[in-house]
Amino acid sequence: MKPQAFDLIVIGGGSGGLAGAFRAASYGAKVALLEPKELGGTCVNVGCVPKKAMWLAAELSQKIALASSLGFDTSPPTLDWKEFIVHRQRYIAGIHASYMKRLDESGVVLMPCRGRLLDANTVVNADGVPLTARHLLIATGGHPVRPDIPGAELGKVSDDFFNLCAAPARVAIIGGGYVAVELAGVLQALGSQVEMFVRGPRVLDGFDTQITDELVADMRQHGVRLHFGHAVAALERAPDDGVVLLAEDGTRTGRFDTVIFATGRRASTQDMGLEAAGVALDPKGFVQVDARQDTCVAGVHAVGDVTGQAALTPVAIAAARRLMDRLFGGQADARLDYTQIPTVVFSHPPVGQVGLTEAEARERHGDDVHVLTARFRPMLHALADSPQRSLFKLVLVGADKRVVGLHLLGEGADEMLQGFAVALKKGITLADLHDTVAIHPTSAEEVVLMR
């Protein structure tokens, strides 16, 4: 069978794959995109987008509850979960339709099937049709995994959360990372009693410890029960069809209606022919790439979660676009700068950070580090006499007190971080913040008023 020839073959139709396909096509490249499932990958279908929708529902629930403390005649909020899912999936369907329209307009050939590498320039699709191209882009993302413990099949993973049609009465979440914290907040706000079981001593490794300690306090005030240093060894079916957790020290929990594992993700690289083509994987199965998104095989590239680099949707998109700028746009030096990437955890309240944590800064700069903090109650929570607090933190370096880290915990942190991230990337100092007139009364003004 004669191969079909392209300039670029993209395997994976998630955020990174789509971004790469669209950017390459904009330069006139002939592009094929292989994706057997819904377009948009994890982010659109079982990640960022539906997660943010559920987070917004949870935020509304909490705001309605606060309203009653301020004199509004409101009933305790309850969510018609199935009705909300209709709105959530309608929104996602609109994204799918937008992708299909853009693919058609850009001339990208969509093949709704898997792809397997035969060599560095040849891919065979699920129908056995060989495709050739000068460049191959691996953008197959990742998937959640269950730990290898007895009874693991009794627990759900994060993808399964989006199949829920109501809030389970009692939920155990195993893990302490992004996914665990976000699901705990959403489920607690929407009616579940949530308990988190964290193997280590804290949540959100990689975030500033002062911020995460304050977040834990806020989570507990919202009713989430957290157990640290708790290593789950097995799950067992309870007599009344619930699930019980067994710890490595032999202790047993009470019955839970639902258990959700948020204990990590694995690269989706299985049965793709990568090893046969000579593409190197690390011990965890992630595709190894250099700073230019190139693998060890000439002409084969990878972006996004499949590489294990900063598993964030905007990172995959930015890396793919810059890669295509280099391959097809004549920009020989184009590549993504992986430093100072802003990120937000949609907890309750949200956490955002950009740059170095205090510990990282002190490891690099020693006594040249200065730290400023502002701890306060946002105005709405002060009016309602709610105990929820915000904590903002600046990490500064040197005599000019250059800002190398900004950490925000509190309402609006997700929206206000973006602009400050631009400023930090440009090398602002504390004096620059002080020269900026505050917007009052807001939480954001605390960043420019810290002294």
Confidence of residue 198 (pLDDT cuts 50, 70, 90): very high
Instruction: Measure the CA–CA gap between 421 and 259, rounded to whole angstroms.
Output: 36
- Peptide bond before 441: cis, by omega within 30 degrees of 0? yes
Residue 1 predicted with pLDDT over 80: no
Return the pLDDT at 381.
Answer: 95
Q: Which one of 143, 230, 381, 440 is the catalytic residue? A: 440
pLDDT in tens, 358-401: 999 999 999 999 999 999 999 999 999 999 999 999 999 999 99
pTM of this structure? 0.96
Confidence of residue 438 (pLDDT cuts 50, 70, 90): very high
Q: H/E element holding 319?
A: helix 313-328
Our CA dihedral for 249, 250, 254, 259, rounded to 10 degrees, sits at 70
Residue range(s) of every CATH 3.50.50.60 domain in the chain:
4-144+267-328, 152-263
Long-range residue pairs from 271-278, CB within 8 A, at least 24 positions apart, any chain: 271/116, 272/11, 272/114, 272/115, 272/116, 272/117, 272/138, 272/140, 273/116, 273/117, 273/118, 274/117, 274/138, 276/117, 276/118, 277/117, 277/118, 277/119, 277/120, 278/120
pLDDT in tens, 68-126: 999 999 988 889 999 999 999 999 999 999 999 999 999 999 999 999 999 999 999 98
Instruction: Measure the CA–CA gap between 417 and 406, rounded to whole angstroms.
Output: 8
Q: Are 280 and 152 in contact (CB under 8 A)?
A: no
pLDDT in tens, 49-63: 999 999 999 999 999
pLDDT in tens, 251-283: 999 999 999 999 999 999 999 999 989 999 999
Return the pLDDT at 82.
Answer: 96
Residues in contact with 231: Cβ distance below 8 Å, sequence separation at least 6, in sequence order = 199, 247, 248, 249
Nearest to 185 by CA among 66, 46, 57: 57
Strands 232-237 and 225-228, bridge-based pairing: unpaired
Domain 152-263, CATH number (from 3.10.150.10, 3.40.1640.10, 1.10.10.410, 3.50.50.60): 3.50.50.60
Q: Which CATH architecture has domain 4-144+267-328?
A: 3-Layer(bba) Sandwich (3.50)
Confidence of residue 240 (pLDDT cuts 50, 70, 90): confident
Return the pLDDT at 315.
Answer: 98
Identify whether 143 is a catalytic site residue: no
Return the pLDDT at 126.
Answer: 86
**At residue 292, what are phi and psi to the nearest 5 degrees?**
-105, 10
Residue 226 predicted with pLDDT over 90: yes
pLDDT above 70 covers what percent of the chain?
Answer: 100
pLDDT averaged over the chain?
Answer: 97
Radius of gyration, CA atoms only, the chain: 24
Fold of the CATH domain 349-449 = Enolase-like; domain 1 (3.30.390)
Residue range(s) of every CATH 3.30.390.30 domain in the chain:
349-449
